[in-house]
Amino acid sequence: MINFDFEGVNIGKVVLSAGVNHTFDLKYRRAWLRIPNLNFLFLLSLLKEAMLQSVPKNIHIYLESNPNPNSLKFVVNEMLIPEGLSFDYPDQESAANAPLAKELFSYPFVDRVFYMSNFITVTKKEDVFWLEVQHTIKEHIKKFLESGRFIIEEDENEVASTQEETEAVKKIKTILDEYIRPAVEQDGGAITFHSFHEGVVKVRLQGSCSGCPSSTITLKAGIENLFKRMMPDEVQSVEALG
């Protein structure tokens, strides 16, 4: 194990394993993150961010709506999670290592919590109105962040190995990253690759996209058509999990 220190504070450690893949545990601003199959350049960029960016003393949060009427995006004036990573908590049990999400689930009207870059998306139950609860959630998030606590605690779970990718899978991921993910993130959600088999691309929708009434239309009319146009000989359909 190799430790990285900055100004006397441990900000990360690389856990060396047999073979070429390593695991990196990073103390990134608001979270302890375990990153499998470490890419060295990605490691350097994260270390640079962890060293150069300081947590602001005053937290400011503004709200953004999205196509899912039951979800609201709480945007913070600081990065919470490194760019490109996201964490979805569909229930309180899944938030065991996410103290903020776990606290938000203590409210009976909270149905789902999602972390990404500089925002937190909260999905409410259908039987309450946002005007009744949005201030409560906003103040809870603000107070939590100003306390300096981590939104994700260090995870000691085993890390699954990553299978070798085919050229088709690499191309699918590139299309997701360049053409689809930015628009989905802007709406407070995330889309991640799950699998590709016999012409069927399976993706996982998270955050505001999960349970959104318009997500099925977007998936078929937008995402599926894009893949069919850009990979006509490989992709036949796109399906969402969960």
Integer Cα distance of 119 and 61 in angstroms = 9
The pLDDT of residue 157: 44
Integer Cα distance of 141 and 60 in angstroms = 10
Cβ-Cβ contacts under 8 Å for 49 (sequence gap 6 or more)? 28, 29, 79, 82
Integer Cα distance of 64 and 98 in angstroms = 23
Start-to-end Cα distance in the chain: 37
Class of domain 167-241: alpha beta
The pLDDT of residue 155: 52
The pair of structure tokens assigned to 10 is 């441990």
**CB contact at 8 A, 184 and 97:** no
This prediction's pTM = 0.62
**CB contact at 8 A, 48 and 67:** no
**Separation in Å, CA 81 to CA 30, 31, 51, 64, 216:** 7, 7, 14, 18, 28
**Chain-centroid distance, C-alpha 200:** 24
Per-residue pLDDT for the chain (242 aa), expressed as one digit of tens each?
A: 444 444 444 444 444 444 444 555 555 556 656 555 555 555 556 555 554 444 556 899 999 988 889 999 999 998 888 777 788 899 999 999 899 999 999 999 999 999 988 999 999 999 999 999 999 999 999 999 988 888 888 654 443 444 467 889 989 989 888 888 887 777 777 788 888 888 999 888 777 666 666 666 677 778 888 888 899 999 898 888 75
The pLDDT of residue 214: 66
User: What residue type is assigned to position 208 of the chain?
Assistant: S
107 burial type by CB count under 10 A (0-12 exposed, 13-18 middle, 19+ buried): middle
Class of domain 61-146: alpha beta
Residue identified by tokens 């999990």 is 241
Integer Cα distance of 237 and 225 in angstroms = 8
| φ/ψ (deg, to 5) at 106 | -70, -20
Where do the structural domains in the chain lie, given as residue ranges?
A: 2-52, 61-146, 167-241
Integer Cα distance of 145 and 139 in angstroms = 10
**Chain-centroid distance, C-alpha 229:** 28
The pLDDT of residue 23: 52
